């Protein structure tokens, strides 16, 4: 089997043997599956597999450890604005444990990926409270505004709660609490002049209570 097939089968031994024979493969772009023509860094692709439920977050961690042991770059390829690093991919693809591993290996917390959102923006939008909590232990720019929407991680959390698809409704409220406790400024608007509170409706009681005293 090739490396892609070994990943799909969660074959730790096969992956280890293949990389031992050719360590360069640890940084060679691969597709998500045989039908996919778009390729990405292996550490990114492992996160895609978690999102598509090809294997668990924990299984992806074990595979990522093997890739890192054989020289995989934790930040993927050259960091380009609006292009996801593996950490940003993990934060946006619900691969929380993988993201934690990348942080342990020194992943760049400041890089802005898709829409110019950092890992903190994406973790907040997806409602991944445990990852938000972990990222807040790093020197993140808590009020950093993304490129496309000029929105802070706090606004992303509220937006993800309101407008993310049903499968994206996780723990955005907890993320908002964590961000506020860490000093996030809830009055910072997006490029259209809307603050996080402006996105809420009467039924969003808990978030309204959290933000009402600030607006």
Q: d(Cα 131, Cα 96) in Å, to the nearest integer? A: 6
- Domain 118-215 sits in CATH at 1.25.40.20
- Mean pLDDT across 79-102: 94
Is domain 1-108 given the CATH code 1.25.40.20 in the classification?
yes
> Hey, where are the domains in the chain?
1-108, 118-215
pLDDT digits (tens, 9 = 90+) for 110-150: 999 999 999 999 999 999 999 999 999 999 999 999 999 99
Asked, colleague to colleague, whether 1-108 and 118-215 share their fold, the answer is: yes
CA distances from 196 to 9, 177, 193 (A): 43, 13, 10
- Mean pLDDT across 58-62: 98
Residue 213 has pLDDT above 80, yes or no: no
How far the first Cα of the chain sits from its last, in Å, is 58
Are the C-beta atoms of residues 184 and 139 closer than 8 Å to each other? no
pTM: 0.95
* Owner of token pair 């930040």: 75
Are the C-beta atoms of residues 182 and 136 closer than 8 Å to each other? yes
Residue 28 has pLDDT above 80, yes or no: yes
Give the closest residue to 64 by CA, choosing from 123, 108, 15. Answer: 15
Residue 64 has pLDDT above 90, yes or no: yes
């Amino acid at each position: 089997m090739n490396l892609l097939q070994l990943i799909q089968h969660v074959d730790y031994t096969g992956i280890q043997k293949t990389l031992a024979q050719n360590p360069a493969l640890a940084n060679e772009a691969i597709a998500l599956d045989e039908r996919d023509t778009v390729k990405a860094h292996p550490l990114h692709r492992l996160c895609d597999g978690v999102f598509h439920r090809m294997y668990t977050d924990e299984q992806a961690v074990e595979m990522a450890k093997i890739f890192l042991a054989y020289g995989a770059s934790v930040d993927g390829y050259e960091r380009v604005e609006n292009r996801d690093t593996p950490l940003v991919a993990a934060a946006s693809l619900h691969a929380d444990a993988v993201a934690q591993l990348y942080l342990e290996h020194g992943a760049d917390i400041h890089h802005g990926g898709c829409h110019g959102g950092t890992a903190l923006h994406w973790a907040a939008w997806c409602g991944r409270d445990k990852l938000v909590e972990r990222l807040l232990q790093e020197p993140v720019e808590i009020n950093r505004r993304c490129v496309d929407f000029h929105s802070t991680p706090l606004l992303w959390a509220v937006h993800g709660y309101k407008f993310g698809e049903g499968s994206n409704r996780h723990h955005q409220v907890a993320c908002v609490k964590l961000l506020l406790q860490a000093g996030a400024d809830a009055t910072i608007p997006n490029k259209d002049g809307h603050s996080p509170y402006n996105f809420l409706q009467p039924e969003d009681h808990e978030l309204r209570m959290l933000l009402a005293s600030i607006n």
